[in-house]
Amino acid sequence: MSRSCLAVILAAGDSTRMKSSMSKVLHPIAGRPMIAHVMAAVASTGVTEAALVVGRDADGVARAGAVEGVSVEAFLQTERRGTGHAVLAAKDAIARGYDDILVAYGDVPLVTSAPFAEARERLAAGADVVVIGFHTDKPTGYGRLLVENGELTAIREEKDATEEERKVTWCNSGLMAIDGRKALSLLESIANHNAKGEYYLTDVVEIARARGGKVVAVDAPETEVAGCNNRAELAVLERLWQERRRHELMVSGVSMIAPETVFLSYDTQIGQDALIEPNVVFGPGVTIDSGAVIHAFSHIEGAHVSGGATVGPFARLRPGADLATSSKVGNFCEVKNARIDEGAKVNHLTYIGDAFVGAHANIGAGTITCNYDGVNKHETRIGANAFIGSNSSLVAPVAIGDGAYVASGSVITENVPSDALALGRARQEVKPERAKILRERALAFKAAKKARKEPGH
């Protein structure tokens, strides 16, 4: 769409009902602040400029609202005098002159670009004001959209509605689009002649109509325009977001055995024919390629898993983990900032951090890369086809050559050449009968201790 557009995002809520020390719009859905979800939705309609109306945590909200391709300017709302007054906090931006003005709220994280795009199309077709509504079977508490002959005649608050009007199930979401050439005049004409003495944005409907303007309403799914006021509603929005994203992935070819137990982040990418078993959690920054398998109870963040690779069960991939084709990270393993090359196996009970594991290498159970010296992190490099025996500790910086063997139970502090065998453990000694002597000594000590506690001793 070639029309210019300014999005005004109201994000000055003080989190009273959230019972929180930070702004409501900074609370995350799918690992991303609510305000960032809203900004992404308006940006995808072609908006290139946005005005954030902020209050509490103003700097943090402005940072969270930054989105690529959109110039964002923050405006501080110092008083709370209604939604109309809040929009006018961005008066300087509105006055610059745009074709379209979108008004949205920072606590509506499930909204998509579709209702905004439709509202802008209606503005382009000649409407002065476009209200975004939703249908619900539980309209109590919402303002009703009253429509005649295809035009919106009023938004009637429930306390002012007649019995017949209360039967209307098309309700006001609060989202709106206004003709940018008329927006400032309409907004400045809102009065506060009401019991609360506040300036209501919804009054622009009647003001525009009184001037002969055209006002219409468009529809959005109820879940898309649901707002958030407290922690319980935050949890509901998280559930709805997860359900929507899981469905999108499954219809695109991802298999989930128990989708309701899989939790995704806003940027999780999973390819076709990947299999996700139950109880898997994805943090931000994860890409799972086609054909990978993520077994149950795994936690993955900031990682890439290539096709044919398997993870888990009970595995943890931390930021920087990069699993190549057909590699394996098995049960109760943790990988951080490490490349596991093609066909390599990190089977069980192992920590690999700040490392490179070469193609087809085998890492035995209980292996640890000792990457931290208390001050700095150091790298471990394990060559292709190397074999690391169980319960080995590789003290970085250290390199194990291609095809090398490290004997089980070794502590390796020096580089191991290719095809060499390294043993770094104390020599075993066997002392006959010593176990029996130690056991008898321990039993005698226990009996003497018990006797000292008995009466008469």
Residue 415, SS3 per DSSP: coil
Please count the CA atoms within 13 angstroms of the CA of 181 that sit on its side-chain side.
Answer: 8
State how beta strands 351-357 and 328-331 pair. Answer: unpaired
Please count the CA atoms within 13 angstroms of the CA of 8 that sit on its side-chain side.
Answer: 32
Task: Quote the tokens at residue 210.
Answer: 């009184």
Residue 212, SS3 per DSSP: coil
User: How many whole angstroms separate alpha carbon 396 and alpha carbon 22?
Assistant: 41
Taking the alpha carbons at both ends of the chain, their separation in whole angstroms is 97
Q: What is the secondary structure of 346-396 as a DSSP string?
A: EEES-EEEEEEE-TT-EE-TT-EEE-B-SS-B--EEE-TT-EE-TT-EEES
Q: Of 193, 299, 348, 457, which one is the catalytic site residue? A: 348
Is residue 348 annotated as a catalytic residue, yes or no? Answer: yes
Helices within 44-154 (DSSP H only): 58-64, 83-87, 91-94, 113-124
Strands (DSSP E) contained in 283-327 are 287-288, 293-294, 299-300, 304-305, 310-311, 316-317, 322-323
Q: How far is CA 84 from CA 81, 213, 372, 425, in A?
A: 8, 19, 56, 75
User: How many whole angstroms separate alpha carbon 69 and alpha carbon 445?
Assistant: 77
User: How many whole angstroms separate alpha carbon 405 and alpha carbon 382?
Assistant: 10
Catalytic residues, by residue number, are 348
